[in-house]
């Protein structure tokens, strides 16, 4: 066990938290890797590009269907055992993907990789909170979530580069190699905690009825649906500004400002979580309004994408902290529902964005995004008593392992 992971020490166990961040990076990178490799995968597996795209769908579906039941089923397991099980899942199913020459076998492997991701996302936030004193829980979660914007900004271009350089199968092989390294990292640096006794386990319905939980999940759905409309269709969205060949640079700007957003969230989450959520939504809404006024200016697009990334970077930290604080003893179960909400928003963004693109074109995106942000802002503003209370966080001891 990492000696620095004593919650009473008053310090952040960076090595352990960064191992959680690396797990999150692998979750997102494994999900997005096929997006940059569709031509090579479709040729290698003798299927159409649209069929190859279902490898992403299968992964997301696995996360949605497994997150809640697996989180409940493994809630009594020691925490590091659960984490290692998810990482071993990535190792196994990424390796199958790298070696398979059959599309349907690859599709099944992607589905089970998504199951591993769903369970991983369900425990990462609560695990990070367990490692530190209550007043550091928000900052610990910020560190544990840093892998997400890195993977979102680098995953597709990195996958595209690896596919062109070493081939798409080898790219998945690299993911497996990283997973092997992560297993050693976890065994050496990540502390273990006991699971939650079955007698103290909160049922799903009771968790959902806990004051504050549903409003936070509502904000998650509206905010992430707005985000995914833009993120899924970022290439056609920036085309009117002549940036269709610079999507990589646009995503890099998004990724850099998202990292800045994580840093800002880590500084304010303990003392001003409500204000940070409201400010993030307002700034994202202003960016959407600016996009609605004009998307033909490259400078406006880069500035708007920068603001968008800044607000998105801290979203996972702020929303998962608010959700775990609201759910208290049911934090693990609530965070598993968050996985379902998050992935549903990914799928919903693709569906809604596709309908908007076919019906009214990219000019409709900013107004749809702004409408959703206004819904999220209303929900967050209304959840003053529970969900997003004013002032500093109510510092609660993690429910599991202490």
Q: What is the CATH number of the domain that holds 190?
A: 1.20.1250.20
Instruction: State whether 297 and 351 are in the same domain.
Output: yes
Let me know if residue 390 belongs to a domain.
Answer: no
Give me 119's structure tokens. Answer: 């369970």
Instruction: State whether 168 and 244 are in the same domain.
Output: no
Q: Give pLDDT tens digits for 74-126.
A: 988 999 999 999 999 999 999 999 999 999 999 999 999 999 999 998 899 88
Give me 217's structure tokens. Answer: 């999940």
Instruction: State whether 158 and 216 are in the same domain.
Output: no
Please tell me the predicted confidence (pLDDT) of residue 7.
Answer: 67
Instruction: State whether 249 and 377 are in the same domain.
Output: yes
Distance (Å, rounded) from C-alpha 252 to C-alpha 305?
10
Q: How confident is the model at residue 4 (pLDDT cuts 50, 70, 90)?
A: very low
> What mean pLDDT do residues 301-311 have?
95
Instruction: State whether 229 and 94 are in the same domain.
Output: no
Name the domain boundary from 200, 218, 244.
200
Instruction: State whether 133 and 192 are in the same domain.
Output: yes
The answer to whether 198 and 76 have CB atoms below 8 angstroms apart is yes
- The label of the residue with tokens 């702020």 reads 318
Give me 191's structure tokens. Answer: 């502390």
pTM score over 0.85: no
Please tell me the predicted confidence (pLDDT) of residue 53.
Answer: 79
**DSSP-based three-state secondary structure for 132:** coil
DSSP one-letter string for 15-33 = HHHHHHHHHHHHHHHHHHG
Q: Give pLDDT tens digits for 367-383.
A: 999 999 999 999 999 99
Cβ burial 129-161 (10 Å sphere, 16+ → b, else e): bbbbbbebbbbbbbbbbbbbbbbbbbbbbbbbe
The percent of the chain in helix, strand and coil, each rounded to the nearest 5, is 80, 0, 20
Q: How confident is the model at residue 1 (pLDDT cuts 50, 70, 90)?
A: very low
- On average, the pLDDT of the chain sits at 88
Instruction: State whether 293 and 171 are in the same domain.
Output: no
Number of domains in the chain: 2
What is the extent of the structural domain holding 364? 204-382
On the CB side of 146, how many CA atoms lie within 13 Å of its CA? 22
Task: Please report how the helices 213-232 and 298-313 are oriented relative to each other, as an axis angle in degrees rounded to 10.
Answer: 150
Instruction: State whether 282 and 336 are in the same domain.
Output: yes
Give me 95's structure tokens. Answer: 């390796």
């Amino acid at each position: 066990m990492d000696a620095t992971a004593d919650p009473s020490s008053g310090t952040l166990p960076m090595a352990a938290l960064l191992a959680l961040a690396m797990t999150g990076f692998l979750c997102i990178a494994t999900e997005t890797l096929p997006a940059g490799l569709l031509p090579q995968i479709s040729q290698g597996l003798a299927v159409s590009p649209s069929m190859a795209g279902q490898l992403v769908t299968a992964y997301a579906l696995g996360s949605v269907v497994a997150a809640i039941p697996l989180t409940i089923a493994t809630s009594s397991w020691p925490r590091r055992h659960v984490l290692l099980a998810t990482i071993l899942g990535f190792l196994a199913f990424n390796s199958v993907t790298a070696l398979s020459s059959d599309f349907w076998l690859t599709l099944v492997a992607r589905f089970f990789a998504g199951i591993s991701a769903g369970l991983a996302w369900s425990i990462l936030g609560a695990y990070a909170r367990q490692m530190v004193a209550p007043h550091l829980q928000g900052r610990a979660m910020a560190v544990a979530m840093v892998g997400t914007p890195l993977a979102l900004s680098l995953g597709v271009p990195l996958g595209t580069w690896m596919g062109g350089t070493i081939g798409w199968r080898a790219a998945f092989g690299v993911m497996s190699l990283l997973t092997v390294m992560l297993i050693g990292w976890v065994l050496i640096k990540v502390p273990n905690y006991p699971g939650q006794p079955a007698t103290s386990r909160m049922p799903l319905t009771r968790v959902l009825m806990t004051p504050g939980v549903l409003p936070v999940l509502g904000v998650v759905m509206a905010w992430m649906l707005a985000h995914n409309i833009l993120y899924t269709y970022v290439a056609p969205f920036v085309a009117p500004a002549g940036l269709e060949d610079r999507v990589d640079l646009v995503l890099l700007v998004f990724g850099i400002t998202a990292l800045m957003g994580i840093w800002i969230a880590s500084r304010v989450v303990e003392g001003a979580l409500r204000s940070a959520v409201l400010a993030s939504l307002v700034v994202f809404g202003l960016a959407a309004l600016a996009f609605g006024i004009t998307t033909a200016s490259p400078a406006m697009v880069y500035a708007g994408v920068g603001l968008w990334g800044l607000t998105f970077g801290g979203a996972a930290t702020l929303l998962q902290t608010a959700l775990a604080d609201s759910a208290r003893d049911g934090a693990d179960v609530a965070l598993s529902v968050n996985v379902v909400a998050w992935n549903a928003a990914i799928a919903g963004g693709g569906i809604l964005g596709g309908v908007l693109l076919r019906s009214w074109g990219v000019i409709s995106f900013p107004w749809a995004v702004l409408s959703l942000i206004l819904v999220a802002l209303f929900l967050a503003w209304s959840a003053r008593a529970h969900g997003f209370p004013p002032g500093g966080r109510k510092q609660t001891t993690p429910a599991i392992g202490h």
